[in-house]
Amino acid sequence: MTSMRPCALETPFGTVGALRAGEAGAQRVLALHGWLDNAASFVPLSQHLRGIDLVAIDLPGHGASTHLPLTADYLLVAFARAAFAAADALGWERFALLGHSLGGVVASVMAAAQPRRIERLLAIEALGALAEKEERTTQRLRDAFDAHRKLAGKQLRVFPDVATAARARLQAGTGDLGEAAARLLVERGLREVEGGFVWRSDPRLTMPTAVRMSEAQSRDIVANIECPVRVIYADPSQSYFPDALRRERAALLRNGELIVLPGSHHLHMDDAVGTAAAIGDFFSA
């Protein structure tokens, strides 16, 4: 596959930034990145995929995409609706989904909510929503509302150069992100200002999410995904999504298969060759 080329999609959610590669008329695949990542997350993997028309978008508030207005919250439903809006802007009625981490969560919601539109789902390091116990509901709301108030007027950190920003991303990130992968994400995730660079992602994305689903709700979503699903997990698993839980989720799929590969949370970037081999002909089968 040739290098990914930038494009912009105009939607009711504002401009959705994207990177595109592949063959016109081939299997349509919409790729959704992880939390605080961006469309560059799929650049390494795109070099090893064949026979698809791959469009990796920046979810709202990330990368080159418009920030949601202050009257809207960054919730799973909002991300899912924005992704469908991007597909509409592409003229895609039916398509496949490729999601990593948060993107895999959003893709799960999309596949369950609009089964007639989703042909296949390839989820990396996620399936269903990140769940929370019901008795944590009030505390989560309090934390989210407090964070909103504290964020008002907060100044963005200015980095003197891209390398400094990349080091900061490595120090703050999770999942043992490699240096080359961090550089790709950071280069797309910065905007130039006087004196250097700042993150162009919405600062509200760093705040606690106001609402999370329960485990029962998340399982209902997974159990009602109708399309074929292939799930790729890294070993070792993440602490917030232990191996026993992720296997239980995968077992709920009507038409699913699970592949576990050695690697990090960003294995699709740090081991693009191995991840592409695990994807194989899934999108063209």
Residues 6+ apart with CB under 8 A from 277: none
In contact, 76 and 57? CB cutoff 8 Å: no
Of the candidates 101, 108, 218, 264, the residue annotated as catalytic is 101
In which order are the strands placed within the sheet that holds 5-11?
5-11, 14-22, 52-57, 27-32, 95-100, 118-124, 229-235, 256-262
101 in active site = yes
Question: Cis link prior to 236 (omega < 30° from 0)?
Answer: yes
In contact, 121 and 99? CB cutoff 8 Å: yes
Please give the Cα distance from 79 to 185 (Å, whole number). Answer: 19
In contact, 208 and 144? CB cutoff 8 Å: yes
Please give the Cα distance from 231 to 256 (Å, whole number). Answer: 8
Please give the Cα distance from 120 to 208 (Å, whole number). Answer: 31
Residues 6+ apart with CB under 8 A from 258: 231, 233, 247, 250
How many other CB atoms are there within 10 angstroms of residue 227's CB atom?
19
Beta strands, E only, 179-239: 190-193, 196-199, 229-235
Residue type, 44: P
* Rg, the chain, Cα only: 18
Q: Which residues are identified as catalytic?
A: 101
